[in-house]
């Protein structure tokens, strides 16, 4: 992704969790959670909620929202300014709509092959200097994940 810094497998501050991918670029800051679903897994409505197979969507998006809040707070502390972090679930396998993404509680769920274009289509938010500053802050405040 041109102009972006992508950090992989980062520790969530003050937690045992990890962030799969943090993307920092001109269009914003994104926490991308990778999921490998069985090819027959579907997202469908039922009983007033969306379901991923037999799992309520809240259990899928809840952890990535937690991770994004932690990343936003770490970057705010490091840069001295608020940073909005967008949450994305990138799905390998599974049956998702071919035409685009599903939004579940503010988290976008889409095929892995669509993540790059989806991020690139967002409006420009940061200058190159701001991207570099936030990327450096993320490198410092989000160390590589070491399983415990």
State how far the Cα of 72 lies from the Cα of 81, in Å rounded to an integer: 10
How, if at all, do strands 28-36 and 85-92 pair? parallel
| Residue 11 is assigned to a structural domain of this protein | yes
**What pLDDT score was predicted for residue 99?**
66
| Residue 78 is assigned to a structural domain of this protein | yes
| Residue 146 is assigned to a structural domain of this protein | no
- Supply the pTM of this predicted model: 0.92
State how far the Cα of 93 lies from the Cα of 64, in Å rounded to an integer: 19
| Residue 145 is assigned to a structural domain of this protein | no
Q: How confident is the model at residue 50 (pLDDT cuts 50, 70, 90)?
A: confident
Evaluate if residue 6 carries a pLDDT over 80.
Answer: yes
| Residue 144 is assigned to a structural domain of this protein | no
| Residue 39 is assigned to a structural domain of this protein | yes
Looking at the structure of the chain, the number of domains it has is 1
Evaluate if residue 90 carries a pLDDT over 90.
Answer: yes
If one compares 34 and 1, the residue with the highest pLDDT of the two is 34
Evaluate if residue 40 carries a pLDDT over 90.
Answer: no
| Residue 143 is assigned to a structural domain of this protein | no
| Residue 68 is assigned to a structural domain of this protein | yes
In this structure, the number of other CB atoms found within 10 A of the CB of residue 61 comes to 23
How, if at all, do strands 49-52 and 107-111 pair? unpaired
Domain span including residue 14: 5-138
Q: How confident is the model at residue 14 (pLDDT cuts 50, 70, 90)?
A: confident
Encoding tokens for residue 72? 């936003």
């Amino acid at each position: 992704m041109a102009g972006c810094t992508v950090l992989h497998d980062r520790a969530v501050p003050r937690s045992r969790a990890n962030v799969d991918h943090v993307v920092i670029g001109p269009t914003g800051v994104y926490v991308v959670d990778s999921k490998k679903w069985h090819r027959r897994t579907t997202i469908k409505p039922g009983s007033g909620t969306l379901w991923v197979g037999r799992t309520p969507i809240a259990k899928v998006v809840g952890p990535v929202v937690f991770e994004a809040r932690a990343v936003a707070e770490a970057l705010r502390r490091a840069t001295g300014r608020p940073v909005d972090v967008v949450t994305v679930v990138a799905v390998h396998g599974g049956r998702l709509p071919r035409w685009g993404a599903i939004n579940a509680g503010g988290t976008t769920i889409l095929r892995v092959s669509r993540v790059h274009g989806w991020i690139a289509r967002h409006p420009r938010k940061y200058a190159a200097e701001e991207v570099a500053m936030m990327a450096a802050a993320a490198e410092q405040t989000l160390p590589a994940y070491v399983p415990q």
